[in-house]
Amino acid sequence: MKKLAGRTYDYLSLVKFSHTVFAMPFALVGYFLGATQPGFGFTLRTFLLVLACMVLARSAAMAFNRYADVHFDRLNPRTAGREIPAGKISQRNALVFVIASSILFIVATAFLNRLTLILSPVALLIILGYSYTKRFTALCHIVLGLGLSLAPIGAYIAVTGAFALLPLVYSFIVLTWVSGFDIIYSLQDDKFDRETGLYSIPAAMSRREALTVSAALHSVSFMLVSTAGLIGQAGIVFWISALIFSGMLAYQHLIVKPDDLSRVNMAFATTNGVAGVIFGLGVILDLLLF
């Protein structure tokens, strides 16, 4: 029993399950945007399938990232203790996990609607393909943001079987938000990336310039949040949560400095995790109450 618990913990750690808070709130926003449309409503079956798709797609993406980057993770002191380089999970088992999660993801989309199923390979191509982007472009942060941005529009399509403007706006919020905080996270590896020939915005410019790019992306996030509220004719709950979300975006730029990265993890994980949950819950409550 202890061995099983230990293996389960290793795989949860491999996919950084705790970081689900970055995309899950926005997947739920997409679901409720669809469920509150005329002619649709909450169904437990669709809700659970959307959650399954979200978890499976993200698990496949994270495990594949660890599989693809194992050579670099072994070389980087910061990542050498991860599950694959540390020998807790073999590369072969990690790849089997990726394949199984991907297949189950496609199967889950087949139980939703035709458009979701058709788009599922495209989603996998984006989220799995991200793992190789640091090898050739400093825009890898944007590709990561794009992968997570599929959550709200994907969940909306899962419910309605169609595209719409408002969930797309939420997808662009996720894209700029995630891209911005991933740049902050990548500051920890700027020297390593330069030495090993990997690409990232912090590796391509100074830390101060990278933080400026991150702040610019988060400024766009703020404008998109306001746009979403106006298009959706949001109520007071939305605007309160939007204010908190925007404030926490600004806060991380106050606590991370070019010459002081001691609070990067607080900015990356804690601040953004709390911001995403608060904003997601605020949007959902606003949809249900107003």
* pLDDT tens over the chain, length 290 residues: 656 666 777 887 787 766 676 789 999 999 999 999 999 999 999 999 999 999 999 999 999 999 999 999 999 999 999 999 999 999 999 999 999 999 999 999 999 999 999 999 999 999 999 999 999 999 999 999 999 999 999 999 999 999 999 999 999 999 999 999 999 999 999 999 999 999 999 999 999 999 999 999 999 999 999 999 999 999 999 999 999 999 999 999 999 999 999 999 888 888 998 999 999 999 999 999 88
- Name the one residue in this structure whose structure tokens are 């991860």: 82
Phi, psi of 122 (to 5 degrees): -65, -45
**Domain, as residue range, for 156:** 2-289
pTM for this predicted structure: 0.95
DSSP per-residue letters across 82-142: STTTTTSS-HHHHHHHHHHHHHHHHHHHHTT-HHHHHHHHHHHHHHHHGGGGGGT-TTHHH
Domain CATH for 17:
1.10.357.140
- Output the pLDDT for position 23: 81
Q: What was the pLDDT predicted at 5?
A: 62
Which residue from 140, 136, 133, 69 is spatially nearest to 98, judged by alpha carbons? Answer: 69
Q: Provide the pLDDT for residue 229.
A: 97
The tally of domains found in the chain comes to 1
